[in-house]
Amino acid sequence: MKSNGIIGKVILLTMIGLLVLGLGQQEASAATAAVNAASVNVRSGPGTDYDIMDGLTHDTRVEILQVQGDWSQVRYGGQQGWIKSEYLQPDIELIVTGATVNLRSGPGTTYGIAGELAAGDKLILLGVSGEWYKVRDAQEREGYIFAELAARVDTPAAPATPPAPPATTGNDPSFGTISSGSAVNVRSGPGTDYDAMGRLTPGTDYPLLGDQDDWYRIRFDGSENAWVASWLVERAEPLADPAASGDITVLLNGQAMSFEVAPIIENGRTLVPLRAIFEALGATVSWDEATRTVTAAKGETVIVLPIGSLSPTVNGVAYPLDTAATIVNDRTLAPLRFVGEALGSTVSWDDATRTVDINMTENALPAQVIVRDNGASLRNGPGGDYDKLGEANAGEELAVIAQRDGWYQISREGELMWIASWLADAVYAAVTEAPDDEELSPEEQAESDTPADSARGLNTRGDENATVAAGFLSMSTAVDASGYRLVMKGGAALDPEIEESNGNRKIVMTFADAQIEGNRDELAFYIGTGKNSRIEISGQTVGATTWVTIEMPLAYAYDITREAGDTKVVFTILPQLLQIQNVKLNNGNQILEVKGTSAMTYEEKLDDHTLTVELTNTLPGFAEKLYNISGRDLADTLLVEETEAGGTLLTIELGSKVAEYMIMKNSDGNRISIALIHVEQIISETPGSTEGVIVWIDAGHGGAEPGCISDHTGVKEKDVNLPVALKVQELLEQSGLNVMMTRTDDSYVLLNDRAALANAAGADLFVSIHANSVTSYDPHGTQTHYYAFPEYPVTAEQEYERALLAELIQESMIKYCERNDRGVRSSLRESNLLVLRETVMPSVLVEMAFMSNPEEAALLVDKDFQELAARAIAEGIEKYIKIML
């Protein structure tokens, strides 16, 4: 179902409220729900100030016991706790009304019969597809039944004969979006027995004029007596009787606004005073009497709204309306959603209090957006005057990287583009709380004890061990040590015909007597980023035969095997090299950067002047057999050979000017850097040999900003960061480096100033020192952050340098401090920290350990541990300088 942001939250809370209505504090054992977020915290009480007890993942089923405010008490697996209600999707219960009803594998009579149901059987509604319900029965079977053959438990069954033409429930104007996965019928009365007048496509928005017996009355094709089933509509912007519209309250960022002209309701839409709200949002508003046009500007955003027009523009791109702006008592009133969203805000309506809530969202970045309509323009910048790069279609989900002036920067198949916010619905991440300060606890959004594995998360879908019914075929993907793994599983042994073409870049497998539920499934693998990153996987069933097609942009090495008594056919893209690059630095050093499709393991050996690096689990892939890397007396050639065990051997003949070499692997394991250090670049024990190199050390927090405070020791983070930073300064100065400090005492320095001071000093690198903290006592370990995204070109240009600095410091921290390795973090959400984003030199932020963990809280105040952490950070910095500077 398409998300409508905060409006959807209002609907969900209303549904949960109805489920427990009248129960008070008593248990409502019949109310059940599923977690609708990727992950959500379970707390000991109804609020974020209560302890985190547990975490639940998407689709986990719970029983709702009671509701308090925005929170629901739930029972699951013998445990009880509290979850924010917006992260729950309450179940809708159905009862079978037909005498004998077929449960089918797809939404239509052409699909196979998966079982039989009898009158009175209870079902849980899982979704809607056209005029078919997707359901789960008491035996945990899932399938589809025709909607006419079941009724909601809380509503009467449909009459056997057509009812008389209905009278509506009076003026109940609201707004709805067709939420079905396919086109739905518009009927001449409130029931499936009435004639179909036409069809509406998914995502279509319509004013709702009334309702009766689970049907909404709409205006359609000139008629105001057209009806659609309410279960196919997501109701948004619930509104009250127009006659009483004068008491509508408008809140802007929580503050009530007052107007000379009150908001009104017209055609089921709320119209609000445009100038007052736009100016409060920071825009400049002007009026052209000759053309009767309002123009508003904020930053790079320009909004043009002619009175009476249904197509105002935002930066030249049309924003379609179904109700035009109007003039009331010399004041312009415009549709609520347009006024709120055109400048990048979110809008919600509280029906109980008749309140419009407009919130600026500049600091609330959604995880993704879902495109509303076909043909949405994708541009190379945040405005309608930028070049058009392509189009997106309704329902397409796009990952959000950044936002600016009412536009979202998105990633589409590895390419960065921009889409107007009014063309897509924002979907926010399932995080119950986030840090208030950019430098405070980036871990708050990821409480795992292991490093994030972007490749694994992006390429994992489904469960290859799930039960599959006879005659059916499921597809799932995963990434493990064997490579990128596509599993096709049947209810019986499989023996597909396999056809390879297009230079082994296209593989088609034909499965007889095995069909995919819904007759079609689409998946993909992403190997890195860029135009050759996406591998398309599709399954199509016609009759009783299924074709699975894999199309690869490059001829990746792969294997096809059978497992589990031939019930699994496994297509694996094997770990292999993508490329080897020779990077010659200005300081005379040389880096051989080895990139692979998957995490690599290696063994190194130096025999006289011959360095061999064996990649034990990686094939040569796309690497050349011989590389000429000569030019600085560091090495002449790099030879690539496949080993008998199916790995790759790299042989490098070292030259006379090699002082030493270092081998480093990034946190994802798919990049190995072999650094050859020129003899003239070694840091001398004599102070002064690195004249000109400036290292900036930033002790996090300070003064009035204590950082986190340990529950176990009572120590403030600022008092842990400073002694470590001072010791790092001492160690680096002993090595002849010029070190500058954000602070050397308990003083407060603004975040912006920390970056600005380092930039003004011309520092060569920046290291910020912190201790971590979350609400749970369990997470522990060390992690290091860096930031390098295209939104900030300077950071993107330094991606390798920033990553290398982070990896070297993280490696040293694990070696010296012996804490859990939480890896190097570089995600947009975790690592988008001001001191990393705004510094113009390579920069990292080190989280030494967790003050919220009792064991590590004690270590952080221990002088010996502080000494080890300082030595680790200093060593990582010195290694970076040795290689890069």
Residues with a known catalytic role: 847
- Asked if 556 and 639 touch (Cβ cutoff 8 Å), the reply is no
343: alpha, beta or left? (left if phi > 0; alpha if psi -120 to 50): alpha
Give the separation between CA 436 and CA 772, rounded to whole angstroms: 14
Hey, which residues does 678 pair with through a beta bridge? 658
Residues sharing a CB contact under 8 Å with residue 114, sequence separation 6 or more, in sequence order: 103, 104, 105, 141, 143, 469
Give the separation between CA 428 and CA 421, rounded to whole angstroms: 14
- Asked if 537 and 516 touch (Cβ cutoff 8 Å), the reply is no
Terminal Cα-to-Cα distance of the chain (whole angstroms): 53
CA distances from 254 to 3, 347, 358, 359, 407 (A): 23, 12, 8, 8, 24
Give the separation between CA 783 and CA 830, rounded to whole angstroms: 11
- Two structure tokens written together for 540: 């199509």
What is the H or E stretch that residue 187 is in?
strand 184-187
The residue type found at 49 is D
What is the H or E stretch that residue 16 is in?
helix 6-19
Rounded (5°) CA angle 649-655-661? 65
CA 133 to chain centre: 29
Q: How many CB atoms lie within 10 A of CB 745?
A: 10
Q: Which of 210, 196, 3 is nearest to 87 (CA)?
A: 3
Looking at the chain, the number of H-run helices and the number of E-run strands are 11, 65
Residue 768 has φ and ψ, to the nearest 5°, of -105, 130
Q: What does the DSSP assignment read for 62-91?
A: EEEEEEETTEEEEEETTEEEEEEGGGEEE-
Give the separation between CA 459 and CA 424, rounded to whole angstroms: 24
The alpha-carbon radius of gyration of the chain (Å, integer) is 31
Q: At what angle do helices 799-817 and 863-884 cross, to 10 degrees?
A: 150
Residues sharing a CB contact under 8 Å with residue 18, sequence separation 6 or more, in sequence order: none
Burial class for 549, CB neighbours closer than 10 Å (0-12, 13-18, 19+): middle
Q: What does the DSSP assignment read for 136-154?
A: E-TT--EEEEEGGGEEETT
Give the separation between CA 808 and CA 880, rounded to whole angstroms: 7
Q: Which of 431, 338, 324, 236 is nearest to 829 (CA)?
A: 431
- Asked if 132 and 108 touch (Cβ cutoff 8 Å), the reply is yes
Give the separation between CA 94 and CA 253, rounded to whole angstroms: 40
Place of tokens 């008594």: 565
Give the separation between CA 730 and CA 734, rounded to whole angstroms: 6
- Asked if 432 and 84 touch (Cβ cutoff 8 Å), the reply is yes
Residue 714 has φ and ψ, to the nearest 5°, of 75, 5
CA distances from 636 to 430, 708, 882 (A): 52, 52, 22
- Asked if 818 and 848 touch (Cβ cutoff 8 Å), the reply is no
Q: How many residues are given for the chain?
A: 885
Hey, which residues does 357 pair with through a beta bridge? 251, 348
Place of tokens 């105002």: 312
- Two structure tokens written together for 75: 């029972």
